Amino acid sequence: MLKKFLLKYFSLLLLFFFCNICSAAEPAQNNISLIDAVRLTIKNQPNIKIQEQEVEIKKGALQTAKGEFDTAVSAFIGAEHKELTYPASEKIKGIIEKLKTDTTTYGVNLNKKLRGGVKIEPQLDVTYTNSSTSPINQYEPTNIGRINFTITVPLLKGKGKKVTTATETAAKKEYEASVLQLRHKTSEYILNTVSTYWEYLASYKILKKRKEAEKNAKRLVVNTQKLIAADKSPGSDLEQIAANSEDKTADRINAEQSFFEAKQKLGIALGISFEKIKQLPLPSDNFSIPQKNNMIDYDKIFEKIIKQALQNRADFLSAKKQEEADKILFEASKNNLLPQIDLKLNAGYEGLSENGNYADTLSALQNNVAGLNYSALLNYEIPVANNIAKGILSQKKAAYNQSIISKKELERNICSNVITALSDLNNGKLSLIKSEKAVLFYKKAVKNEENKLIMGISTIFDLISIEDKLINSALKVISSELKLNKALAYLRFETGSLILNKQNYDSIGIEELTTIPFVN
């Protein structure tokens, strides 16, 4: 009887453990690597492209602001005909009937605003005049040439380089902020891709284990049926073994769904089309495991790593640029409260060319010059209520205060997120260590249960229960590896070291994605 008992259960044991369900098969090579995924994200992610257009918008705004100081050159030409009737007492028939005057004026004007607020306006023009009082009484045509140089100097409102160039300087700061924000957004989507890549790998590994467990469970059902048919096993065993097989199939179905969702999620993160998502290959990289026994004493390195994070976080640097821009506009808006007092200075001369014609009009600029003409004008303007300037000042002050609050809040969050990421990394290491130890213990427990089964002091269902715990423990190892690698990427992101300052995106390597920053 003992021999028959041992033979029956030893046969079941060999059938059930034909495959090593604890082995961690590696994903196929030469498929999609983590670096490939990151580069596809940088190339294809629509949200990164949207932020690139935001940079172009700010670049255009800067160019517009610079346009205030462009040199404007204008040319003009005009003609005028006038007829003046003389009083009857002054008319002489055929000689003095009415005055007819034809005037042609043309010239060139230059307008330039300097960054100190001063405006300069040089102008050159020539007027050709031809008059007559009757067909037989023609006056000699004349050319009058003028050169004028006008300077307008603001004495209060609009005075000084800081005030005049405030819009341009702020626009430059905002453009620089948008470039930094692009780097931060790119870093965000790289983090998302790294996280979804590891989730894709984990779901693939879990699916393989679930398929392996299902295969073994189905084999056990088939061979149990054979043993029952051969009268070597009681028929009552089949229900529980069949139920175990159905459970394993359900687990495999759920794992397939999780793998499908992880694949879709990674495809969305990469920014590729739906058709390409369906063709997305398997992951080729395995989890990167840092020194598990080397815990980070983040109390010692916290200040250092926070300092590095604030120096490298592109969104924090962008917030500082935005604060500087808002401060510039706020300070400049105070100047608008002042009254407008402008000093306008003009100097020039006129020349006259008689008996002239169109061909020699420019000679008027150098002939018969009497002397220098000059004038000075002081213009004073003060708005009574000044509501426009006061309203703008209120808006700029509020915007500046907003940027200060936003920057401080961002700094506070960065500090909290960095220490959380460090803690998450340490706990992820500890969790992985414990999960791997649990797998080793469960493997030994399975061996012990096998021996007990052979000795007849255990049942196949006890062995199945221990094996289920071994499977779950192996899955926890995968989950711990996933959590640890995501924690690494999250720490890199929070410290601004996924994309280092002035680094070309194409130069991002596996080190930036899988190693602990600023520790050595």
Per-residue pLDDT reduced to its tens digit, 183-229: 999 999 999 999 999 999 999 999 999 999 999 889 888 887 887 88
List all residues 6 or more positions away from 35 whose beta carbon is below 8 Å from its beta carbon: 508, 509, 510, 513
The pLDDT assigned to 134 comes to 59
Asked if 358 and 152 touch (Cβ cutoff 8 Å), the reply is: no
The pLDDT assigned to 451 comes to 86
Q: If you write DSSP's letter for every residue of 32-68 in order, what string do you get?
A: B-HHHHHHHHHHH-HHHHHHHHHHHHHHHHHHHHHGG
The pLDDT assigned to 24 comes to 38
**CA–CA gap between residue 360 and residue 185 (Å, rounded):** 66
- Where do we find the tokens 């999609």? 32
From the list 490, 407, 518, the residue with the least C-alpha distance to 190 is: 490
With bands split at pLDDT 50, 70 and 90, how would you rate the model's confidence at 509?
A: confident
- Which run of H or of E encompasses 421? helix 387-455
| Average pLDDT over every residue of 41-70 | 95
Share of the chain above pLDDT 70, in %: 86
| Average pLDDT over every residue of 148-172 | 95
With bands split at pLDDT 50, 70 and 90, how would you rate the model's confidence at 295?
A: low
What's at 43, amino acid-wise?
A: K
- Where do we find the tokens 């030469």? 30
The pLDDT assigned to 5 comes to 43
* pLDDT surpasses 60 at 10: no
How far CA 126 is from CA of 65, 108, 346, 367, in Å, comes to 35, 10, 18, 13
- Poorest-pLDDT segment among 194-198, 317-321, 348-352: 348-352
**CA–CA gap between residue 375 and residue 81 (Å, rounded):** 30
The pLDDT assigned to 463 comes to 80
| Average pLDDT over every residue of 138-146 | 83
* pLDDT surpasses 70 at 502: no
Question: Counting beta carbons within 10 angstroms of the beta carbon of residue 224, is it exposed (0 to 12), middle (13 to 18) or buried (19 or more)?
Answer: buried
From the list 270, 263, 283, 305, the residue with the least C-alpha distance to 425 is: 305
- Where do we find the tokens 């949207």? 50
**CA–CA gap between residue 342 and residue 436 (Å, rounded):** 81
Tell me which of 154 and 457 has the higher pLDDT. 154
Bridge partners, residue 283, by sequence: 32
Q: Rounded to an integer, what is the distance from CA 450 to the centroid of its chain?
A: 58
With bands split at pLDDT 50, 70 and 90, how would you rate the model's confidence at 519?
A: low
The pLDDT assigned to 105 comes to 92
> If you average pLDDT over every residue of the chain, what do you get?
86
253-272 pLDDT, tens digit each: 999 999 999 999 999 999 99
DSSP one-letter code for 296? -
- Side-chain half-sphere CA neighbours of 31 within 13 A: 15
The pLDDT assigned to 364 comes to 77
φ, ψ dihedrals at 156, nearest 5°: -130, -85
With bands split at pLDDT 50, 70 and 90, how would you rate the model's confidence at 137?
A: low
372-397 pLDDT, tens digit each: 999 999 999 988 889 999 999 999 99
229-258 pLDDT, tens digit each: 887 777 777 888 889 899 999 999 999 999
User: SS3 breakdown of the chain: % helix, strand, coil, rounded to 5?
Assistant: 60, 15, 20
The pLDDT assigned to 26 comes to 41
From the list 486, 485, 500, 495, the residue with the least C-alpha distance to 517 is: 495
* pLDDT surpasses 80 at 312: yes
Question: Counting beta carbons within 10 angstroms of the beta carbon of residue 222, is it exposed (0 to 12), middle (13 to 18) or buried (19 or more)?
Answer: exposed
15-31 pLDDT, tens digit each: 444 334 333 344 344 68
* pLDDT surpasses 90 at 456: no
* pLDDT surpasses 60 at 9: no
| Average pLDDT over every residue of 319-339 | 95
